[in-house]
Structure 1
Amino acid sequence: MLWNIDLTLVDVAIVTRDAYAEAFRQVTGRPLVKLAPAMGRPDSEIIFETLAINGIVTGDEHLPRFIDALAHAFAARRKRLNKDGRVMAGAKEALKAVARLDGVVQSVLTGTIKSNAALKLNAFGLDKYVDLEAGGYGEEVYPKATLLQVAQGRVKQAYGFRCDGSNTVLIGDSTRDVQTARIAGVPIIAVASGRSTPGELREAGADIVLPDLSNASEVVAAVARLTSPVNRKAG
């Protein structure tokens, strides 16, 4: 199970915007005028577009510097996550319910850089349900579908079984998440808790669309419907 984080499990957009503004100022010496929209994209892509639309000519040094500044700026604001953010409806209960399924491994496929992803989940007590080492993150400059396959490889290395479209499910909230799953050849449970409507998610090709995660039994049933038992000796 690979979970998207923002607007699927948590909403910490206010803190994220402030951290981006601070990171931009540190890297460029200028105030941030406009932040590129997330739209399910990784931080690496958002950083490059943000620099471009604010008139910064980018070089090879900008991405690592910005990622480092973003990590420090977000960490400095970690105490605000509970105050200015929220856990999405049913997220903790859904994670707990899926964790009880036999043989399940839960991780994340997120556009957020790894250190910030860990802080987002930890702020709401969600990190205990996922193996963060097996996930895919926004500082890794891959297309998101390729990043999904990278995460599958990490699961195989750590747990010894092969992941494919029969035993991997992505849960996300955006049409970008749906497109990622389609390209990677895995099923997706789309939740209409973000900025994509149920109709948009269905049109994009989601296998199952839920209004949110508030019905944990419904989430578990959807996972069971889309997967087959894992053969841990395979691969």
Structure 2
Amino acid sequence: MSKSTKQWYASWFDTPYYHILYKDRDYTEAQGFMDNLTNYLNLPEGGKILDLACGKGRHSVYLNSLGYNTTGVDLSEQSIAYAKQFENETLKFKVHDMSKIYPDTFDAVFNLFTSFGYFEDDNCNLKTIEAIKAELNDFGFGVIDFMNTNYVIENLVAEDVKTVDDIDFHQKRYVKDGYIIKDINFEVEGEHFEFQERVKAFTLQDFEDLFEKAGVHLLDVFGDFKLKKYHATTSERLIMIFK
């Protein structure tokens, strides 16, 4: 049996199986979100964007194709090694811990698709907000796109099996100690693997508390990728614009 003792996101995200399980994500919808977001923020032509927790860089690549000078950073060395094939003069990828300040300033810092709330140490969540604040130039905007935990918990599917590339991923979901947790186990060529995803069940109020401590100001809150109004019980997303 293979079960990692590293922080879950450091081990799981660096496996090929993570990318297999989630290979069918709707990137057309994601690109529409980027279009809506950059238009709403009215970012300057050729503006600088920092994509925090960029994974393999697909969204950074798209933002760069829209004309933005984009830097993608992620803790996963394997993901960044993969993303580097897309680099050009205005698109760079670096291994970086988002709870630490990146040594540059930007017109926008994006943290997309629930890439927040992974840390075991609550202080790291505050440090991440403080780092985003430090990474914004005088006219810059921070964006955190998180799940709406109220909606997710209400609609949680306790257990299912998802088959991708002939691998049966057994998934169990539950809420424990303030985290939304997914246990994932599967077999490949006779070897058993177990991984766990743990995301802090932050509410809008929790984020507002973090923002206050970090000294940033919440400007707008949206409930989906089309930037419709946020509703605490029915919105699927919690998208926050701040500076």
State TM-score, norm by structure 2. 0.37
Tell me which protein shows more helix as a share of its residues: 1
TM-score by length of 1: 0.38
Higher-strand-fraction structure:
2
